[in-house]
A and B are shown apart, each in its own frame.
Chain A
Amino acid sequence: MSALRIAGVRKRFGAQEVLKGIDLEVDSGEFLVLVGPSGCGKSTLLNIIAGLEAPGEGTVEIGSRLVNDVEPKDRDIAMVFQSYALYPTMTVRQNITFGMECRNVPKRAQDEAVERVSRLLQIDQLLHRKPSQLSGGQRQRVAMGRALVRDPTLFLFDEPLSNLDAKLRVEMRLEIKQLHRRIGATIVYVTHDQIEAMTMATRIAVMHQGEVQQFADPETIYNRPANLFVARFMGAPPMNCVSARVVSAGDGLAAVIGAGRPDAIQLPLSREAEAGAGAFKDRAVVLGIRPECIAEEDRRFGADERGSIAVEAPVEMTEPTGAETIVLMRLGGEQLLGRVSPDVRLPVGGNARFAVDARKLCLFDPATERLIA
């Protein structure tokens, strides 16, 4: 069942068009993450779903009901804000029950709901406190409690973890994910953090300049980005995107980085990639390769060894993170990032040998920036 359907939604503020025709459909129980840089329109879209802003054009359906002209309170939604938006003069209990009070829920039912939610979120000790007496993480929990107590068709999260410190953010991320699994709710979650998007979503909509660049599951977004924007936005460090040329190699095709140079690197394309790349034979393309696809020379990628290409390249810089070492190298005259095992010592300024995983190469049309193979 579709929990949320957005069709042709446009919005402009003055001369600026912030949403340029958004279409999204979310099934019941899904965790949709709207991700994009600031100013991409993701928060405006969330506000339109909530009914806090009206779309200029297009329709919003929640639980198969057209809600364009329905008040926020009647949309059967609950929302968690970046600033938590707890009512400062009310206790935690009053914060949680305020919505039920507005909807005239009987006192008994209110108490039961507070009981259930406060136990679920472990805030039962805090019910009599004011928001100012709570830590950031506790406020976050109360804000979620206020949403959970409603048991709505749709949960809306507006960058709920941005105000937390790094450690707490990771904890809360896990907790929200577990919560989603436990209660099976449908969630629309806005963030600018691609890690949050990757780790929590069942589907991701990557937004940029008022348009959905790609709407897919996290694996597809990561491995098959629809265009260069998605390729560069998702993943840290980002995908290497370098110019290359498609050439024939044996009975197949290959992509060459630095064609015509003595240090040119040739990477064979997979059978699937050849279909899309055929039209670009002997033409320039943008080659996308994830940093983790360039590793130390003895790394094996998957069971099939043919995908692994050995290259030699000058090492320009290394960044040890502890779990791995990020290495900046030069391949065919282009700068690329690789990720090697932390116990490999690389000579900065000298040459080293790497293994390249050629199975997951992405090719983009340099003119349209769209994925071609």
Chain B
Amino acid sequence: MAEAIRRQAPLSRWVIYAVLILFAAFYLVPLLVTVLNSVRTEQDIGSTSVVGWPRELALSNFGKAWGTYCIAQRCEGISPFMLNSIMMVVPATIISTLIGALNGYSIALWRFRGDNWVFGIITLGVFLPEQMKLVPWTLVLRDLGLSNTITALVFIHVIQGISFTTLFCRNYYVAIPPDLLKAAKIDGAGYFRIFWRIVLPLSPPILIVTVIWQFTHIWNEFLYGVTFTTGAQQPVTAALIALSVSVAEAPQYGVQSAAVLIAALPTLLVYLFGGKYFLRGLTAGAVK
């Protein structure tokens, strides 16, 4: 019996592996094409097709994409837009995560009138499509005088992100035993001291998850970027489009591919360094 299983197992194993590898390859083809094109010269791509192995390794595409390529009459590559994105994503991620943690803490661990309603309304934001909010945001930004600024995007992403960050943190904090709060109240700690000294030190797993989520989401966000900013204020996701539009004569697939890869690098790095926390954090929650 045991031997039969051992003899049969490899076959089904191989079938599973083959199917998985096939799917993975299929899924990774666009990435592969982009990576290959990023190191091919224009002549190379022009003389064959966009799908092909590089004849020689041309790393100059990355330098051009970063610093000299012309986008919308400015020949500084994507580096200014990368900076825009960083100026947007760092404060937006930090602020939305902190507000989410404070919200989650209040909703999960303090009872107040209508607390479930507040939670319900905040999490409703998770399900609202971005397009629905375009017009309201336009009006708000106009009235605040923030149109076409990075600050506007930070503001939007903080507000929009609160739904997710609150949901994440609240679901993590409900596992904190209520006795812990009772003990702290008797010890004389107030709302903020309990948060700062007891709840926040328990939070790294969920904060890492929330930061990764917010960072990738805000970095990759396109619609608000392209709608509410123009020209030099755009985040890199919006600028990449301008880059593909600007090449009127001959499409420069090599430089474009390199630019896309550079733009995708921050989220890839976040995933590489934080991915294991992400997977762990989503299943964690028990505070032992």
Contacts and interface: CB of A to CB of B under 8 A. Distances in A.
Interface stretch (B34-42, B186-194, B267-275): B186-194
Contact of B182 (A79, A89, A103): A79
B188 A73 contact: yes
Contact of B186 (A77, A82, A88, A89): A77
Interface in A131-160: 132, 146
B188 A50 contact: no
Interface string A47-61: 100111000000000
B261 interface: no
Contacts of A89: 198, 201-202
A279 interface: no
A290 B186 CA distance: 42
A14 to B, nearest CB: 14
A81 B183 contact: yes
Given A88-B202, A89-B202, A83 B177 contact: yes
Contacts, number: 61
Contact of A102 (B177, B193, B201): B193
A222 interface: no
A87 B185 contact: no
A258 interface: no
Nearest to B189: A102
Given A98-B197, A102-B193, A73 B186 contact: yes
Interface in A151-172: none
A269 B201 CA distance: 67
B226 to A, nearest CB: 43
B288 interface: yes
A98 B189 contact: yes
A102 B186 CA distance: 10
B19 to A, nearest CB: 43
A50 B185 CA distance: 10
A99 B189 CA distance: 8
A4 to B, nearest CB: 16
A363 B284 CA distance: 58
A73 B185 contact: yes
B203 to A, nearest CB: 10
Contact of B179 (A78, A82, A99): A82
A225 to B, nearest CB: 33
A88 B287 contact: yes
Most buried by A among B179, B188, B193: B188
Contacts of A90: 197, 201
A132 B288 contact: yes
Nearest to A131: B288
A299 to B, nearest CB: 48
A73 B186 CA distance: 5
A83 B179 contact: yes
B178 to A, nearest CB: 9
A87 B184 contact: yes
Most buried by A among B180, B182, B184, B185: B182
Contacts of B197: 87, 90, 98
B182 A98 contact: no
Contacts of A348: none
A146 B135 CA distance: 56
Q: Main SS of the interface on chain B? A: helix
B91 to A, nearest CB: 27
Given A88-B202, A88-B287, A89-B202, A98 B187 contact: yes
A222 to B, nearest CB: 32
A52 B177 CA distance: 15
A85 interface: yes
Contacts of A82: 179
A98 B287 CA distance: 20
A235 interface: no
A51 B187 CA distance: 12
A85 B183 contact: yes
Given A81-B179, A88-B287, A98-B197, A52 B185 contact: yes
B177 to A, nearest CB: 6
A72 interface: yes
A98 B180 CA distance: 13
Contacts of B287: 88
A158 to B, nearest CB: 8
Contact of B188 (A52, A79, A102, A146): A102
Nearest to A52: B182
A72 B189 CA distance: 10
Most buried by A among B197, B201, B288: B197
Nearest to A77: B186
A87 B180 CA distance: 7
A60 to B, nearest CB: 15
A190 to B, nearest CB: 13
Nearest to B287: A88
Nearest to A71: B185
A85 B179 contact: yes
Interface of B: 177, 179-180, 182-189, 193, 197-198, 201-202, 287-288
Q: Shortest 10 CB-CB distances between A and B: which pairs?
A: A102-B188, A73-B188, A99-B187, A89-B201, A85-B179, A85-B183, A81-B179, A72-B186, A83-B179, A72-B185
8 contacts: A50-B186, A81-B182, A82-B179, A85-B179, A89-B202, A98-B189, A102-B187, A146-B187
Given A82-B179, A89-B202, 20 more contacts: A47-B182, A50-B186, A52-B182, A52-B185, A72-B186, A73-B185, A73-B186, A73-B189, A78-B186, A81-B179, A85-B177, A85-B179, A85-B180, A85-B182, A87-B180, A88-B287, A90-B197, A90-B201, A103-B188, A146-B187
